[in-house]
Structure 1
Amino acid sequence: MVPPREETEAAAEAPAGPTSSTSEHAPVASEPRPSSASEPPLSERRERLVALGAHLEPTVYFLWAGACVLYAAVAFYGAMHRQTGGVWSAPLDDVFIHFDYARAAARGYPFQWTEGNGFSSGNTSLAYPFVLAIGYLLGFRGLLLMEWAALLACLSILGFLLVGGRILERVGPWAKYLLPPVALAVGALDWSLFSGMENAFHLAAWALAASTAFNLVDAAEGGAPPQRIARLGWMAGAAGALLFATRPESVVCVASFGTCAAIAVLRSKTVLRAPGRAAVATLLRVGIPGGLVLVAQSIANRVFTGEWSANGAIAKLALNNPYMTADEKWDTYVSLLQYVVVRNTEHHFSDVRPWGWIVLVLALVPFASRATRRYAVLLWVQIVGWLLLVSLNGQVRWQNERYTMPAVAWLLVLVATGLALIVSRTWGRREPVSWRATSKAARVAWGVRVAFGVTLAGMLWLHQLPRMRDQIWFFARASRNIRDQHLVAGSILKEMNVRRILVGDAGGLIYAADRPGLDLIGLGGYHDLPFARAGIHGLGASLELLERIAPGDRPDVMAIYPTWWGNLPAIFGKRLIGVPVIGNVICGGAEKVIYRADWSPLEQRAVPFSLRKGERIVDELDVADLMSERAHGYQHPRPQGGFVAFNVLPEPLPGGSDRFDAGRVIHGGRSESAKMRAPAGAGRLVARTVTPKPVTVEVREGARVLGVLTFAGKQGWSEASLDLPTGLPETLALTLTPVDGEWVDHHVWILEGGVDEASPREGIDSKGAKGANEEPRRERVEAQPGR
C-alpha cells in the first residue's frame, strides 16, 4: 500500500542511519535507500499516473462505447447480409421514403418525394433526408445509401452514449461504462436504431441539444457572466431547432431543456437584479429557434399544399379522422397509450412477466440521489411527454413500435444510472470516505447492494436475451422481405421504363424504379392536391383528385397490394405481373401486383345527363372532391356521417361509356351544406346520385325552403332537378337534407338558361353546351401546379 504523501516526504528527509561507531557494521539493507536525482518520489509518480489516467479516460470510454456500438451493429447488419446474400436492404419500406427525399434533394429538388411532384410535407423528419443526401452526393448511390445510413447510425449512437455518460458521471467516473451495454441491451431499440430510419440520428440530435443545455446549466450554476449565458442559450436553441426538425415530437425535449436551464439561471448568483427576467430570456432563447422552424414549416405547408399540417400528421393522427366521435378518438388514444406502455414492458423488455417492469423500477432509482435527481426529473418528463404525443399516432402500434424507441433510450439511461447508484460504494454519503474508514456494517451493506445489482442486471439480461435473438432474426428477415418484394418490383418497373407509378406505400419500390410516383396514401404528395386528407376520407376521394390530374401525367401503371384497395385494380387496372414474398414478416401483403392502368372512366366531362339545350353551368359542386368541397365551403354531417362511396357506371344515354363519380352517404334527417353561385335569373339545381330506392331531399337556402329533389329508385345514375326562383342572393347558402332515407350525393350543379326540354346526347356535345361546360373543366386541369 502506498503511504500518504506526508509520511513519504518525512522518510526521505530522515538521517541515513545511527552515528555511533558500533553501527558501522549494521546491515546495509536496513538503511533507507536514497532516491536518485533523476527518479521522482513515489508519490509524485503516483500523481503522474493518476493525471495520465484522467487524461486518457475519455479516450478509453470513447473506445469502449465505440466497441459496444460496433458489436451490436455487426450482429444486426451481419444477420441482414446473411439473409440477403450480402446486399444492403432495410427492415422497413419507410426507410426508402427517406431515401426518396434524400435522392431528390441531392438532385436539386429539396422537400420533394420524387422530382416533379412539387413540395411535399410527407417526410415528418425534415433534417434526416438532407443528412442522407450528403452520402448520396459522396457516392453512396442506390442500395449503398443504406450503408451510409448504417455509418450515420453508428456515429449517432456513439454521440448519444458520450453525452449520456455525463449524466452517469454524477455517480462516479466509472459509472458511465455501464451505459453502452445497458442502452444497447434491448433488441427492439437496436432494431430501430440500425434500421435506417431517423431514430439513431434523432438520438444524436438529442445528445447535441442535451449537451448544450447541460453546458448552459453548468455555466449558470458556476457564476458565468450574463453574456456567456446568453450565448449558450442561443446555442441550445439552435440545437433544439435541429432536434425538432428531426422529429416534431421533440417539442417536449426542447421545452424541458429550456425549463431546466431557466431554473438554473433563476438560481444563479450572477443574476442579482432581475433573475426572473433573465430566466424568461433564457427560456425564449432555447425555444425560439425551434418555434421558428415550426412556423416556417407550417407556412410552407400552407403555401405549397394548402394544408397547415404535415401529410404524415393528417394521415396518421386520429384527431384528423372526419368520421370518429370525440369519445371514439379519446378511447383510441387511451388504448394506444396503454398499448405502448404494456408492449414495451411486457414484450420488448423481457420474455416473461414481471421482469420487464423491473426496468421502470430501476429507472426510478435516480430520484433517490441528490446527484442524479435533476436528470431523473428531466428524462422522465421527456419520456412521459414523448409517449403522450406519439400515442396520438395511429401507426404507433406498427413498425416494431419504433415511434416509442426514443423514450426507451432515455429510459435505459436512467436504468444504467439506477444500477450505478445501487452498486456505488458512496451512495447516500455526503462526503466520500476511504475504505479503511468505512465501518464493517457499511462494507457488508455495500456488498449486499453490489450482489443485488449484479443479480438484477443478470436476470434482466437473461430474460432479454431471447428477445434480442428474435429481434436480430426479425431485422434480417424483414430486410430480406423488402429486398425480395419492393426492390424487385421496383427493378421490374425500371426495366419497363414506365411514366409514373401509382403506389400505396411510398418507399422502396419508387426508390428502386427511380421513376415518378403517385402515393394514394398521400405521404409522397403531388403539388397541392390533398391526397393525404383524401386518404382518410376514402378511396373515392383519392380518385376524385386523380381525376384532376391531366391524363398525360396520370400513372400508367399501378404497383399495389390488391387486398388494400377493394375493387380499384379490377375497375382501373389490367394485371401484368405479381411479385411474391416468401416467409413474409413485414410487407403489407404476400404479393405486390403490377397493373397497367386505365383511367378512361375519369376522362368524361362533369356535365349533367339531363342538361337542356342552351343551358349553361353556373357552378358545380363535385361532392367527395376535396378541392371542390373546399372551394364551396362544403360541410358533411359529422361525426359518423358523410362517408365516401364511388361508382363507375354507364352513362344513361345512347352509347354512353362508363363514368366515375364519388359521393358522400348522407343519412336521413342529417344535412350537408355548401355555398354556390346563383343564376342571374331563373335557373335549376340538378343533383346526381345512385339509389335503388326512392328518396326525397329537401333543399334550403338559408332558412327558406326552395323545394325538394325527388329521385326514383333505379339501378345506375339518377338525376333530379329543382327550379330556382329569381331574386336569390348572389351566393346561395344551400342545405340538403334527405327526409325519407339516405342518399349518396355525387354532384350538384347550378344551371341557367335553356329551354324546358331534356337535351339528347347531341345537345350535350352541341356548341352551346360544350362551350358552357368546357371552361369549368379547363380550370380544373390548368390549375394543376407544374402544368
Structure 2
Amino acid sequence: MSLSTTDEHDHGEDPNSGRLAGRAGGTSYREPGTHAKAGRLPGFLARRDPAWGIGFLSLLLSAAFVLVNLSYNAWNLIPPLDDSYIHLQYAKQFAEGQFLRYNTGDPISTGASSLLYMIVLGGLYTLGLHGTALLIAAMVLGGVCMALTAVCVYRIGANLINRRVGVWAGLLVATNGVLLWGSASGMEIGFVALMVSGTVLAYTSEAPRGRFVRTPVIAFFTALTRPEAFIFVLVLAVAMAWTTLRGPRPADVSRAGVLGRLALLPLPLVAYFGESLLYKITTGHTSANGMRAKSLLYEPILYPMGFLDEALNHFHQVLRVLTGFNTFDFVFPGTLLLAVAGTIYLLVKKSQWAPLALALGIGYLLVAMAISTLSTATIHHLRYHQPFLPVVLLLAVVGVHGLSRLVRSRRNRRIVLNAGLVTALLFTVAETPSWAIRLGQQAAGIRGQQVSFTDWLEDEMPEDAVLAVNDVGAPAYLGSHRVVDLIGLTMNRFTEANNHGAGSIYEVLRDMPPGERPDYFAVFTDWPVHDLVNGGVFGDEPLATFRSKSPTFSHRTVGSAGTCQASKLCDEVAIYKADWSSVNTGDEPVQSEAPGRIRDHVNVADLDSEQRHDYGVLPAHRQFQPLTDLRTVNYPGGEVVDSGRHVIGGETVTARNLTPGEPVTITSRYTVSGRSPEPLEMSVSVDGEELRDWTRQPGDNGWNEATLTVPGELVTDSTLRIEFEQPSEFLGPYPDYTSYGYWFSQ
C-alpha cells in the first residue's frame, strides 16, 4: 500500500501511487493524485512504479561489491569480518539442535548479537546450505534485505510527502557505500535495516485508520534483531499509542474498543523481556555477552562522570560523521542537519505525521546514545548505526524538500529540490567504489589470517586438541576443533574476565579442568589482553606465524581500526603450543614464611576470589581502571607465576576463617611501580580502627613479599575487614603498585 498526504505546499503525487484511507488525529489523509501536475515524475518514472527499479539497483550494486570481494580473494568468498563466522557457527549449532551452544556440549552462551538473524540462518542451514554455501546465503540475504530496505524507504517517502521524495530517498539508500558494505558483509546489518524500515512503512500504512495490527507484530520481530532496534520500535510503539488515542472515535467503536486497539502495542516489550528472561534462565545474566564484553558499564570500576565523558566522546564522533562535513564517506555533507530540518518540517507542515516524526527523531537519538555507551561504538565502520542510516537519509531528503518549499516560484522550487538532491547523490556515488575496495581489502585480511591459520591447524593439530583464540569465528565454523574464546563473546566465564585484563583471563584458564584447558593458542601478538605470554602458558617459540599481506586501506575512515587486519593494527597471529607446567605455582608465599597455618588467601585478579573476599580497589584518581596482568619470577625451585592488579591508591579486603583472639599475620605479594621504585607506604585499618602505617620495600626479583601482624585483641570475629590506604587522602605521591595477593595465617 502506498499512501500520500498533502497540504497547500505539496502538490503532484501520482494518481496511481496509492488509494484513499480514513482519518487520524482529525487530519485527513487524502488519496494521492490531487494536484498531479506539480509533482509529476518525468518520463518512465511517472508511468511505472520505481520501487523495484530502486531495489534492483541496490541488488546490482551489492552483487558488484561481492565481485570486488571475489577478485581480491582468488574468486573465493571471504567475509570482511571474522564476526560473520560467529553468526554462521551459532546458526549451524542451532540447526543441529545445539541452541546457543557455540561448541557442542558447551553451556548456553549469548554471543549471537542478533537472535532472530541466527534463527533465520539456522533455517537456511537446515535446507542444506552448509559450509561456504551458508556464507553465500548470508551475503545474498543481506543484499536482498538492503534492496528491500531501499524499496521500503521509497514507499515511506511517498506516503509521507510524495513519490519524488520517495525516489530520491530510495536512491540515496540504494547507492550508499557503507550500507552496501554492510549488506555484503555476512552480518545482520541488512536484515536489521529491513526490519526497522519495514516497521516504519507498516506504521505509515496503518496510521490513517488509527488502528495498528501489522506494525506491532513486525515491531515484535524487529525487537529480536538487536537491542538498539528494540529501543527504536519501543519509541514507535508510543507513537502508535498516541495516534490511536488522539484520533476521533468511530461511532461504532466504544471507548473500551479504542483501548482494545492498544492491546498489541506492547509486543516489542514482550519480545525484549522474553529474550532477557531466556538469557537470565540459561546464563544467569539478562544482558547478552556482547553487551557485557563491550559496554562501558561493565568496566572494572564504573565512574559516572568518566562513563559520561567516554559516551559523549563516542556520541560526538557519530555526530561528526553524520553531518558529513569532516568526511562524506558515510553520508553527503549536511545530512544530519537536513534530517533535523526534515523532522521539524513533518512536525510543522504534516501534523498528521507528528507522532511518527517525533518517534523517528527521538528513536534514533536514543539509539545513538545507547550505542555510544559501548567501548566499540564506532567499530566496523559504525556497524551498529548502519541499520538506522536509511531512516536518517529519508529524513534528510524530507529536509531538502521542506527547505525547497521556502522558494515561492514552483519552477524554482523544483530546481532547488532536484539540484540539492542531485548533489547529495553525486557525493554518495563518489564514495561507493571506495567501500567496495575496502570490502575486498578487509576480506583479504581475514583470508590471510583467520582462514589461513584455521586451515593450517586442521592439518597440524590432533583431532581432539583444544584451541584458544581471540577471534573465535573462522576457527569454529571452518575448523573441527573445540575452541576457547578468550574474549568471552561465546564463553560466559571469560566475558567479565576479559574486561579486567590478562591476569583475570589467566585465572579462568587455570581454574578449568586440565582436560578442558587449551592445547594451543592462536592470538594476535600485539593485543595487550594477550599478555598471557608473561604467565608462561605459551611455548617458548611460536609454531607458526601468520602475518597479513593483504592491501592496506588507501585511506582510513571511521571505524577502520575494528577491521584491524586491513588497517594493520593486528596484522600478525602467532600459534603457540600451550605450556601449563607453571600453573598453580603462585598459590603460596615463596619469599616470606607465613607463621602458623594459612587460614585464608585472597588471590587478587581471580574474580571469584575477589568477590568472596569483598575485595576492592580504592582509587586515588577518578577514571583509573585497575586492570590485571601476569608475571613470572624465577626462583631456585623453578618458575612462579601469579596474576596481579595494578593499583593507584589503596585496597580493601575481608579475611575469613579466622580464630577470634589470635594474632593474624598478613603476607602481601606486590610490585612497586616506577623507574626508581620508592618504598610503598600505606596506612592500615582493621574493622574501621587505624592499626599503623606499613612500609613495604621494593624487591629486585620481579616482586617482593612482606608481612604485617594484627594483634589478637583486634581479631574479634572470624572475619576481618582490612583497608590499605594512601597516607594522604588528597595529595600525592600516591601509592602506585601491583597487588598479587594476600595470605592470612594464625
Shorter-chain TM-score: what band?
Answer: 0.7 to 0.9
Say which is worse superposed, 95-104 or 742-751, in terms of deviation. Answer: 742-751
Number of equivalenced pairs: 662
Q: 1:647 to 1:341 in 2, by over 3 A?
A: closer
Q: How does 1:328-727 map to 2 (within 5 A)?
A: 328-344=306-322, 345-346=324-325, 349=328, 354=333, 359-360=338-339, 363-364=342-343, 365-367=345-347, 369-370=349-350, 373-417=354-398, 445-498=409-462, 499-526=465-492, 529=493, 531-565=494-528, 567-569=531-533, 571-573=536-538, 574-582=541-549, 583-585=551-553, 586=563, 587=565, 588-604=569-585, 606-609=587-590, 616-638=597-619, 639-640=622-623, 643-650=626-633, 655-668=636-649, 670-674=650-654, 676-679=656-659, 682=662, 684-691=664-671, 694-695=679-680, 697-705=682-690, 711-716=696-701, 717-722=704-709, 725=712
Say which is worse superposed, 722-731 or 339-348, in terms of deviation. Answer: 722-731
Quick check: 1:252 aligned with 2:231?
yes
Q: CA deviation at 1:374?
A: 4.8
Q: How does 1:304-315 map to 2 (within 5 A)?
A: 304-315=282-293
Q: 1:679 to 1:243 in 2, by over 3 A?
A: farther
Q: CA deviation at 1:266?
A: 1.1
Structure 1 stretches of 5 or more lacking a match? 1-55, 222-228, 429-440, 753-787
Distance between the aligned counterparts of 1:58 and 1:285, measured in 2? 38
Distance between the aligned counterparts of 1:254 and 1:501, measured in 2? 40
Quick check: 1:241 aligned with 2:220?
yes
Q: CA deviation at 1:576?
A: 0.9
Deviation per CA, 1:678-705: give whole Å up to 9, x if none.
Answer: 2366363433313365445554332235
Q: 1:563 to 1:373 in 2, by over 3 A?
A: same
Distance between the aligned counterparts of 2:429 and 2:167, measured in 1? 20
Q: CA deviation at 1:671?
A: 3.6
Question: Contact 2:279–2:288 (CA<8 Å) still a contact in 1?
Answer: yes
- TM-score normalised by length of structure 2: 0.79
Quick check: 1:185 aligned with 2:179?
no
Distance between the aligned counterparts of 1:198 and 1:448, measured in 2? 42
Q: 1:246 to 1:361 in 2, by over 3 A?
A: closer
Say which is worse superposed, 320-329 or 395-404, in terms of deviation. Answer: 320-329
Question: Contact 1:349–1:356 (CA<8 Å) still a contact in 2?
Answer: no
Q: 1:750 to 1:57 in 2, by over 3 A?
A: farther
Distance between the aligned counterparts of 1:186 and 1:119, measured in 2? 37
Q: 1:642 to 1:460 in 2, by over 3 A?
A: closer
Distance between the aligned counterparts of 2:340 and 2:202, measured in 1? 29
Q: CA deviation at 1:70?
A: 1.9
SS of the residue 1:403 aligns to: coil
Q: Which residue of the partner structure matches residue 17 of structure 1?
A: none
Q: How does 1:51-62 map to 2 (within 5 A)?
A: 60-61=49-50
Q: CA deviation at 1:124?
A: 2.5
Question: Contact 2:467–2:522 (CA<8 Å) still a contact in 1?
Answer: yes
Question: Contact 2:117–2:225 (CA<8 Å) still a contact in 1?
Answer: yes
Distance between the aligned counterparts of 2:374 and 2:251, measured in 1? 45
Say which is worse superposed, 736-745 or 485-494, in terms of deviation. Answer: 736-745
Q: Which amino acid aligns with 1:737?
A: E
Distance between the aligned counterparts of 1:350 and 1:519, measured in 2? 33
Among residues 283, 291, 294, which one is paired with 2:269 in the alignment?
A: 291
Q: CA deviation at 1:304?
A: 4.8
SS of the residue 1:637 aligns to: strand
Among residues 131, 134, 144, which one is paired with 2:120 in the alignment?
A: 131
Over aligned residues, Cα RMSD in angstroms? Answer: 3.6
Distance between the aligned counterparts of 2:574 and 2:259, measured in 1? 58
Q: CA deviation at 1:167?
A: 2.3
Q: CA deviation at 1:599?
A: 2.7
Distance between the aligned counterparts of 2:365 and 2:226, measured in 1? 16
Deviation per CA, 1:303-336: give whole Å up to 9, x if none.
Answer: 5545443322232222332357433322222221
- TM-score normalised by length of structure 1: 0.76
Q: Which amino acid aligns with 2:66?
A: Y
Distance between the aligned counterparts of 1:165 and 1:576, measured in 2? 55
Q: Which amino acid aligns with 1:728?
A: T
Deviation per CA, 1:526-563: give whole Å up to 9, x if none.
Answer: 4xx2x222222221121122121122211111111111
Q: 1:589 to 1:276 in 2, by over 3 A?
A: farther
Among residues 91, 106, 115, which one is paired with 1:117 in the alignment?
A: 106
Among residues 138, 149, 155, which one is paired with 1:160 in the alignment?
A: 149
SS of the residue 1:239 aligns to: helix
- Structure number with higher helix proportion: 1
Q: Which residue of the partner structure matches residue 764 of structure 1?
A: none
Among residues 84, 88, 96, which one is paired with 1:95 in the alignment?
A: 84
Question: Contact 1:346–1:357 (CA<8 Å) still a contact in 2?
Answer: no
Q: Which has the larger radius of gyration?
A: 1
Question: Contact 1:355–1:463 (CA<8 Å) still a contact in 2?
Answer: no
Q: CA deviation at 1:662?
A: 1.6
SS of the residue 1:734 aligns to: strand
Q: Which amino acid aligns with 1:477?
A: Q
Q: Which amino acid aligns with 2:143?
A: C
Q: 1:271 to 1:541 in 2, by over 3 A?
A: farther
Deviation per CA, 1:645-675: give whole Å up to 9, x if none.
Answer: 44433475xx52212212223345x342335
Say which is worse superposed, 736-745 or 556-565, in terms of deviation. Answer: 736-745
Q: CA deviation at 1:340?
A: 0.8
Deviation per CA, 1:478-536: give whole Å up to 9, x if none.
Answer: 1222122211111111222352222222322332223222222222224xx2x222222
SS of the residue 2:605 aligns to: coil
Q: Which amino acid aligns with 2:69?
A: M
Quick check: 1:737 aligned with 2:725?
yes
Deviation per CA, 1:719-745: give whole Å up to 9, x if none.
Answer: 425256276223333323365944433
